[in-house]
Amino acid sequence: MKKRILTCLLALLAVLTMTVPAWAEQTEDDLFVYDTVGLLDEDEWLELEMMADEISWRYNCGVYIVTVDDYEDYNSDIHYAAVAIYDGNDFGIGENREGIMLMLSMYDRDYDLFVRDGGTAQYAVNKYGRHQMTEVFLDNFADNDWKGGFEDYLSACGEYLDRAEQGHPVRKPLMKVLPMALGIGVVLAMAVCLCLKAKMKTVRQGAEADAYVTAEGLNLTERYDRYTHTTETRRKISKDSDSGSSDHSGGGGSSTSGKF
Amino acid sequence: MASQITNYKCPACTGPLHFVGASGMLECDYCGAKYDVAQIEALYAEKEAKAVAATEQANIKAEENRQKIAEMEAQGWDTSGLSSDWGAEADGMKAYSCPSCGAELICDASTAATSCPYCGNPTVVPGQFSGALKPDYVIPFKLSKEDAVAALKNHYKGKPLLPKAFTNGNHIEEIKGVYVPFWMFDGQAEGCVDYEGLIIHVYESGDYEITETEHYDVRRGGSITFEKVPVDASSKMPDDHMDSIEPYNYKDLRAFSTAYLPGFLADKYDVTVEQSRERADGRCAASLEGALHRTTTEYSSCIPKSRNINLRRGKVHYALLPVWMLHTKWNGKDFLFAMNGQTGKLVGDLPTDMGKFWAIFAAIAAPVTAIAATILMLM
């Protein structure tokens, strides 16, 4: 019964997404777990809702769980489908509508981890954080362990928000970024230095005589173009991580999506 | 036997005249009088003819002397002490007597204008530019020695890798304003080039990036006419320096007159047309290839497969073009700079301070690495 009410609520709010331009703020009575597909039983739902409620109000950043049949009901792009649900349901706490949302779309087993831009949520869970967080729950979902996955997600949210509050948000370790950063620094510095060194040499043998061409210029007498054949090469597009996830941003948030 | 040379003297005070680029006139250092080139040319035409005749006469006499010595040797006289042979170093040298002070000037056989090392008067050797050796054109100097020094100082600016000691301790050893002999080639390059043309489309399909390459047989043919492609005709001048100060503005080309020479050095050519032609041919062929390649913009890339370029050679002109040569020495190494005496374009390779190179490298690499690391960590 409760699920049916939730489904109706979510559907109603999703419709409002297209029509209501101003957002209301999340209140103490509003929910954080919207299991419209029915993956959880009532006890599981209640337990997760309480957990999400506790984390959200402790850090003033809503942590949401949404399950839908097919994200394409909201938008053909999974990221914008998440944006539509987040905005359409007035998700988020505070003026900046801080929040993190995990959406599961069951039709093709897609997930989207959405983080609201420009505040605590983004500071606590950046792109690297999103990728780290997905690794925590994807294995559960692969085994259809919905409650376990959601629990892991909520725990991770709590941990990330706690670290951010203490001023030590989850960030890529220095040793992981150093080789690439060093490469960028060395290549850029060498390019500048070689440019400066090239300026020291101004004497070169003349290779062409363009300056002495008469005003008529080139008299093109022969022009022949014949198509012979076409070749094709295919390269598999490498995803951002081994799990085949991809990153998106726009609509006031950033997300990482993929399959589970 | 010293030959005759000409000093251009001021008709008013007999002081030496110099051609001044800024005014385009011959000016007297002493009384400040200025004369048109045509005016002095008319005045000195007769004197130059006499000087040429005197030079020829001197050459005949020198030849007679040599014959006399040969005859004396044939009669059994010991003429070893009378030898006028100065050895290999004197080959290709000529002696002239300065009309102002009478001093004997020893110059290269190709020297056409110089100045007397004793009295400093500018002198012209008219015989070098007479008859078939007369240049068709001259571009008079527009820029002065002071302009050349200023251009060199400017050349040092904006080069952070230049050793500081080079700028501070480096002194210009020599500045010479030289009319450099050039052959100017007219001609036409015609031919065709075969390419493999590629049009590349890249698109994504599912999980794949697909690169589709259309291949074409492409041929472009045509011709280009060139006018006065310059090739320096002096073996003393480095070819790459002379190429690098191009182009000259041919609007200033004047019919040749020796009246433009006083105050500058000038050489007659010592590299023949045949020796120079190959360089002009190569440049013209490269220009045609470049122009044909620029007509293939519809392709992502065009790889030349074969080319067939022929050159139709036209008229060859002989011209003297103005060049300021500046020579400096630093750390025992010679540095040569050349400046286009008409446009002011100055070239010359400079030394690199490798200490500064690595310091700048570190100064850029360190903060960029730090910034990049921070950005990557925040992402």
B51–A contact, CB cutoff 8 A: no
pLDDT tier, A9 (very low <50, low <70, confident <90, very high otherwise): very low
Beta bridge partners of B187: B226, B313
pLDDT at res. B75: 63
Return the SS3 of A96. Answer: coil
B262 touches chain A (CB under 8 A): no
List Cα–Cα distances, B213 to A45, A230, B48, B177, B299, in angstroms: 55, 5, 71, 57, 11
Contact across the interface for A196 and B161, Cβ inside 8 Å: yes
| A182·B218 Cβ contact <8 A | no
Fold of A2-19+26-171: Diaminopimelate Epimerase; Chain A, domain 1 (3.10.310)
**Nearest CA-CA distance, residue A238 and chain B, Å:** 8
CA distance A16 to chain B (A): 33
A194 at the B interface (CB within 8 A)?
no
Q: Is B102 left (phi over 0), alpha (psi -120 to 50) or beta?
A: left
Q: Does the beta-carbon distance from A174 to B373 stay under 8 Å?
A: yes
Interchain proximity A212–B217, CB inside 8 Å: no
Cis before B247? omega within 30 = yes
Least Cα separation, residue A96 to chain B (angstroms): 20
Most B CBs within 10 A among A125, A202, A216, hence the mutation to make, goes to: A202
| Parallel/antiparallel/unpaired status of strands A33-35 and A62-68 | parallel
Note whether B5 and B51 are within 8 A (CB): yes
CB-CB neighbors (< 8 A) of B360 in chain A: 189, 192-193, 196
Residues A55 and A100: their CA atoms lie apart, in Å, by: 11
The pLDDT tens digits along chain B (379 residues) read: 445 566 777 887 777 787 888 888 888 878 888 888 887 777 777 666 666 666 666 667 667 766 766 676 666 555 455 445 545 555 566 777 777 777 777 767 677 777 777 777 777 776 677 666 788 999 999 999 999 999 999 999 889 999 988 887 667 878 889 999 999 999 999 999 999 999 999 998 877 899 999 999 999 999 999 999 999 999 989 999 999 999 999 999 999 888 888 888 888 888 999 999 989 999 999 999 999 999 999 999 999 999 999 999 899 999 999 999 999 888 888 899 999 999 999 999 999 999 999 999 999 999 999 999 988 887 7
Helix (H, G, I), strand (E, B) or coil at B322: strand
Of the candidates B220, B238, B347, which has its C-beta nearest A223's C-beta? B220
B-proximal residues of A, 201-230, CB under 8 Å: 201-214, 216-230
Paired strand residues for B218: A225, B195
Cβ–Cβ gap A196/B349 under 8 Å: no
Contacts with B314 from chain A: Cβ below 8 Å: none
Mutual orientation of helices B354-378 and A174-198 as an angle, nearest 10°?
140
Q: Residues A194-219: pLDDT tens digits?
A: 999 999 999 999 889 999 999 999 99
**Closest CA of chain B from A71, distance in Å:** 19
Interval B270-302: pLDDT, tens: 899 999 998 999 999 999 999 999 999 999 999
Nearest to B125 by CA among B59, B186, B63, B183: B59
| B29/B33 Cα distance (integer angstroms) | 8
Whether pTM > 0.90 for this model: the answer is: no
Please indicate whether, in this complex, the C-beta atoms of B365 and A188 are within 8 angstroms of each other: yes
Backbone angles phi, psi at A133, to 5 degrees: -70, -40
DSSP-based three-state secondary structure for B166: helix
Q: Domain boundaries in chain B? A: 3-134, 145-157+170-344
The pLDDT value given to residue A23: 47
The pLDDT assigned to B240 comes to 93
Tens digit of each residue's pLDDT (9 = 90 or more) over A84-119: 999 999 999 998 899 999 999 999 999 999 999 988
CB spacing of B377 vs A171 below 8 angstroms: yes
